[in-house]
Amino acid sequence: MGGTWLPPALTQMAREADTLFYVMLAVVTVFFVIVEVLLVTFLIRYRRSRQRQVGVAVHGNNKLEVVWTLIPAVILVLMGAFGVKYVYAVQNPPANSYVVHVTGHEWFWEVEYPNGVKVQNDFAIPAGVPVLFDITSQDVIHGFYIPAVRLQQDAVPGHLTQFYVTADPKDIGQTLPVPCDQFCGQGHPTMVGSMKVLSQADFDAWLQQQKEKSQ
Protein backbone atom coordinates (compact mmCIF):
# COMPACT_ATOMS: atom_id res chain seq x y z
CA MET A 1 0.00 0.00 0.00
CA GLY A 2 0.99 3.63 -0.15
CA GLY A 3 -1.17 6.52 -1.15
CA THR A 4 -0.39 9.89 -2.58
CA TRP A 5 -0.54 11.43 0.89
CA LEU A 6 2.41 9.38 2.23
CA PRO A 7 5.99 9.70 1.04
CA PRO A 8 7.26 6.87 -1.20
CA ALA A 9 7.88 3.68 0.78
CA LEU A 10 11.37 2.42 0.15
CA THR A 11 11.63 -0.85 2.02
CA GLN A 12 9.52 -3.88 2.85
CA MET A 13 9.53 -2.61 6.44
CA ALA A 14 8.21 0.78 5.34
CA ARG A 15 5.35 -0.92 3.51
CA GLU A 16 4.57 -2.97 6.63
CA ALA A 17 4.55 0.24 8.69
CA ASP A 18 2.09 1.73 6.19
CA THR A 19 -0.11 -1.36 6.44
CA LEU A 20 -0.07 -1.10 10.23
CA PHE A 21 -0.97 2.57 9.92
CA TYR A 22 -3.89 1.87 7.57
CA VAL A 23 -5.20 -0.98 9.75
CA MET A 24 -5.13 1.29 12.81
CA LEU A 25 -6.72 4.11 10.85
CA ALA A 26 -9.52 1.76 9.72
CA VAL A 27 -10.16 0.50 13.26
CA VAL A 28 -10.32 3.97 14.81
CA THR A 29 -12.45 5.24 11.90
CA VAL A 30 -15.03 2.48 12.40
CA PHE A 31 -15.33 3.22 16.12
CA PHE A 32 -15.28 6.97 15.55
CA VAL A 33 -18.22 6.69 13.16
CA ILE A 34 -20.17 4.33 15.47
CA VAL A 35 -19.67 6.63 18.47
CA GLU A 36 -20.53 9.82 16.62
CA VAL A 37 -23.65 8.33 14.98
CA LEU A 38 -24.88 7.05 18.36
CA LEU A 39 -24.08 10.37 20.01
CA VAL A 40 -26.05 12.40 17.48
CA THR A 41 -28.90 9.87 17.40
CA PHE A 42 -29.26 9.91 21.18
CA LEU A 43 -28.98 13.69 21.31
CA ILE A 44 -31.92 14.02 18.98
CA ARG A 45 -33.97 11.07 20.10
CA TYR A 46 -33.71 11.64 23.84
CA ARG A 47 -33.67 15.41 23.90
CA ARG A 48 -35.87 17.11 26.48
CA SER A 49 -39.30 17.48 24.89
CA ARG A 50 -41.16 19.08 27.80
CA GLN A 51 -40.16 21.59 30.44
CA ARG A 52 -39.00 20.07 33.76
CA GLN A 53 -38.73 16.61 32.21
CA VAL A 54 -36.38 14.37 34.21
CA GLY A 55 -34.60 11.37 32.76
CA VAL A 56 -34.76 7.86 34.22
CA ALA A 57 -31.81 7.16 36.52
CA VAL A 58 -29.84 4.13 35.28
CA HIS A 59 -27.38 2.48 37.63
CA GLY A 60 -24.84 0.42 35.77
CA ASN A 61 -25.19 -2.57 33.50
CA ASN A 62 -22.50 -5.12 34.21
CA LYS A 63 -22.85 -6.99 30.95
CA LEU A 64 -22.58 -3.83 28.85
CA GLU A 65 -19.66 -2.50 30.86
CA VAL A 66 -17.72 -5.73 30.50
CA VAL A 67 -18.33 -5.71 26.74
CA TRP A 68 -17.28 -2.11 26.21
CA THR A 69 -14.17 -2.60 28.31
CA LEU A 70 -13.07 -5.93 26.88
CA ILE A 71 -13.47 -5.13 23.18
CA PRO A 72 -11.30 -1.99 23.24
CA ALA A 73 -8.81 -3.72 25.55
CA VAL A 74 -8.36 -6.61 23.14
CA ILE A 75 -8.03 -4.25 20.17
CA LEU A 76 -5.49 -2.03 21.94
CA VAL A 77 -3.41 -4.99 23.10
CA LEU A 78 -3.34 -6.37 19.54
CA MET A 79 -2.35 -2.98 18.07
CA GLY A 80 0.30 -2.61 20.78
CA ALA A 81 1.68 -6.09 20.10
CA PHE A 82 2.05 -5.41 16.37
CA GLY A 83 3.61 -2.03 17.06
CA VAL A 84 6.12 -3.41 19.56
CA LYS A 85 6.99 -6.26 17.22
CA TYR A 86 7.75 -3.71 14.52
CA VAL A 87 9.87 -1.52 16.82
CA TYR A 88 11.96 -4.51 17.91
CA ALA A 89 12.33 -5.67 14.33
CA VAL A 90 13.81 -2.37 13.13
CA GLN A 91 16.24 -2.28 16.04
CA ASN A 92 17.53 -5.83 15.72
CA PRO A 93 19.70 -5.78 12.63
CA PRO A 94 20.86 -8.95 10.89
CA ALA A 95 24.39 -9.98 11.87
CA ASN A 96 25.76 -9.28 8.39
CA SER A 97 24.67 -5.64 8.42
CA TYR A 98 26.81 -2.99 6.79
CA VAL A 99 27.48 -0.48 9.58
CA VAL A 100 27.45 3.23 8.82
CA HIS A 101 28.10 5.88 11.49
CA VAL A 102 25.94 8.96 11.49
CA THR A 103 26.81 12.04 13.54
CA GLY A 104 24.58 15.06 13.84
CA HIS A 105 26.27 18.46 13.82
CA GLU A 106 24.96 22.01 13.84
CA TRP A 107 23.78 21.84 11.08
CA PHE A 108 24.59 18.90 8.90
CA TRP A 109 24.83 15.14 8.91
CA GLU A 110 28.23 13.51 8.87
CA VAL A 111 28.20 9.96 7.56
CA GLU A 112 31.20 7.70 8.07
CA TYR A 113 31.79 4.42 6.25
CA PRO A 114 33.75 1.37 7.45
CA ASN A 115 36.77 2.40 5.34
CA GLY A 116 36.99 5.72 7.20
CA VAL A 117 35.50 7.84 4.46
CA LYS A 118 33.39 10.69 5.79
CA VAL A 119 30.85 12.63 3.78
CA GLN A 120 28.53 15.47 4.67
CA ASN A 121 24.79 15.38 4.03
CA ASP A 122 24.93 13.65 0.64
CA PHE A 123 25.48 9.97 1.20
CA ALA A 124 24.73 6.66 -0.46
CA ILE A 125 23.78 3.15 0.57
CA PRO A 126 23.94 -0.13 -1.34
CA ALA A 127 20.63 -1.83 -2.20
CA GLY A 128 19.85 -5.37 -1.13
CA VAL A 129 22.07 -5.24 1.96
CA PRO A 130 20.94 -4.44 5.51
CA VAL A 131 22.52 -1.08 6.31
CA LEU A 132 22.75 -0.33 10.02
CA PHE A 133 22.90 3.32 11.02
CA ASP A 134 24.75 3.95 14.28
CA ILE A 135 23.54 7.39 15.23
CA THR A 136 24.95 9.96 17.62
CA SER A 137 25.52 13.71 17.87
CA GLN A 138 28.48 16.01 18.29
CA ASP A 139 26.60 18.88 19.92
CA VAL A 140 22.86 19.03 20.56
CA ILE A 141 20.04 16.55 20.04
CA HIS A 142 19.19 16.07 16.38
CA GLY A 143 16.74 13.66 14.78
CA PHE A 144 17.91 11.33 12.02
CA TYR A 145 14.77 10.83 9.99
CA ILE A 146 14.31 9.04 6.67
CA PRO A 147 10.64 9.48 5.75
CA ALA A 148 10.89 6.95 2.90
CA VAL A 149 11.73 4.15 5.32
CA ARG A 150 9.33 5.44 8.00
CA LEU A 151 12.11 5.44 10.59
CA GLN A 152 13.55 8.03 12.91
CA GLN A 153 15.97 7.96 15.80
CA ASP A 154 17.19 10.87 17.86
CA ALA A 155 20.88 11.67 17.54
CA VAL A 156 21.93 12.22 21.15
CA PRO A 157 25.43 13.35 22.28
CA GLY A 158 27.27 10.57 24.13
CA HIS A 159 24.65 8.02 23.22
CA LEU A 160 24.22 5.55 20.38
CA THR A 161 20.86 4.89 18.75
CA GLN A 162 20.32 2.76 15.69
CA PHE A 163 18.03 1.35 13.06
CA TYR A 164 18.65 -0.56 9.91
CA VAL A 165 17.36 -0.32 6.38
CA THR A 166 17.37 -2.85 3.57
CA ALA A 167 16.67 -1.02 0.34
CA ASP A 168 15.00 -2.97 -2.45
CA PRO A 169 17.03 -3.44 -5.63
CA LYS A 170 14.05 -1.92 -7.49
CA ASP A 171 14.70 1.34 -5.61
CA ILE A 172 18.16 1.74 -7.08
CA GLY A 173 18.60 5.25 -8.39
CA GLN A 174 16.27 6.91 -5.90
CA THR A 175 17.50 9.88 -3.90
CA LEU A 176 15.65 10.44 -0.66
CA PRO A 177 15.60 13.34 1.78
CA VAL A 178 17.02 12.84 5.28
CA PRO A 179 15.82 15.80 7.34
CA CYS A 180 16.71 16.55 10.93
CA ASP A 181 13.41 16.33 12.79
CA GLN A 182 14.41 17.66 16.21
CA PHE A 183 14.59 21.41 16.48
CA CYS A 184 18.33 22.00 16.92
CA GLY A 185 18.84 25.73 16.54
CA GLN A 186 19.06 28.43 13.93
CA GLY A 187 20.17 26.20 11.06
CA HIS A 188 17.65 23.44 11.73
CA PRO A 189 15.44 24.07 8.68
CA THR A 190 18.41 23.70 6.36
CA MET A 191 19.67 20.51 7.99
CA VAL A 192 18.58 18.07 5.29
CA GLY A 193 20.72 15.27 3.97
CA SER A 194 20.04 13.14 0.94
CA MET A 195 20.44 9.40 0.65
CA LYS A 196 21.06 7.80 -2.70
CA VAL A 197 20.30 4.12 -3.25
CA LEU A 198 22.94 2.50 -5.46
CA SER A 199 23.62 -0.99 -6.74
CA GLN A 200 26.43 -2.72 -4.86
CA ALA A 201 28.84 -2.12 -7.78
CA ASP A 202 27.93 1.55 -8.12
CA PHE A 203 28.12 1.96 -4.38
CA ASP A 204 31.64 0.48 -4.26
CA ALA A 205 32.68 2.82 -7.06
CA TRP A 206 31.08 5.80 -5.31
CA LEU A 207 32.82 4.98 -2.04
CA GLN A 208 36.16 4.62 -3.79
CA GLN A 209 35.60 7.96 -5.47
CA GLN A 210 34.85 9.61 -2.10
CA LYS A 211 38.00 8.08 -0.71
CA GLU A 212 40.11 9.49 -3.50
CA LYS A 213 38.44 12.87 -3.09
CA SER A 214 39.33 12.98 0.60
CA GLN A 215 42.99 12.16 0.05
The neighbouring-strand residues paired with 118 are 112
User: Which lies closer to Cu ion via its Cβ, residue 142 or residue 150?
Assistant: 142
DSSP letter string, 2-61: --TTSPPP-SHHHHHHHHHHHHHHHHHHHHHHHHHHHHHHHHHHTS--STT--PPP----
| Min CB(153)–Cu ion separation in Å | 13
Nearest to 119 by CA among 140, 137, 107, 101: 101
Q: Which 48-87 positions form the footprint of Cu ion (CB under 5 A)?
A: none
Cα(163)–Cα(132) distance, integer angstroms: 6
Q: Which 145-184 positions form the footprint of Cu ion (CB under 5 A)?
A: 180, 184
User: Which lies closer to Cu ion via its Cβ, residue 148 or residue 191?
Assistant: 191
Nearest to 158 by CA among 181, 182, 141: 141
Could you tell me how many residues of this chain bind Cu ion (CB under 5 A)?
4
| Min CB(13)–Cu ion separation in Å | 24
Sole window of 29-37, 50-58, 126-134, 135-143 interacting with Cu ion (rule: CB under 5 A): 135-143
| Min CB(187)–Cu ion separation in Å | 8
User: Which lies closer to Cu ion via its Cβ, residue 11 or residue 137?
Assistant: 137
Write out the E strands in 80-189: 98-105, 108-112, 118-120, 122-126, 130-137, 142-146, 151-155, 161-166, 175-179
User: Which lies closer to Cu ion via its Cβ, residue 32 or residue 183?
Assistant: 183
User: Which lies closer to Cu ion via its Cβ, residue 18 or residue 139?
Assistant: 139
Classify 1 as helix, strand or coil. Answer: coil
191 forms part of the interface with Cu ion (CB under 5 A): yes
Give the residue, chosen from 142, 164, 198, 206, that forms a contact with Cu ion under the rule CB under 5 A.
142
| Min CB(150)–Cu ion separation in Å | 19
| Min CB(191)–Cu ion separation in Å | 4
Cα(111)–Cα(134) distance, integer angstroms: 10
User: Which lies closer to Cu ion via its Cβ, residue 9 or residue 155?
Assistant: 155
Please count the CA atoms within 13 angstroms of the CA of 117 that sit on its side-chain side: 20
| Min CB(134)–Cu ion separation in Å | 17
Cα(56)–Cα(78) distance, integer angstroms: 37
Site residues (vs Cu ion, CB under 5 A):
142, 180, 184, 191
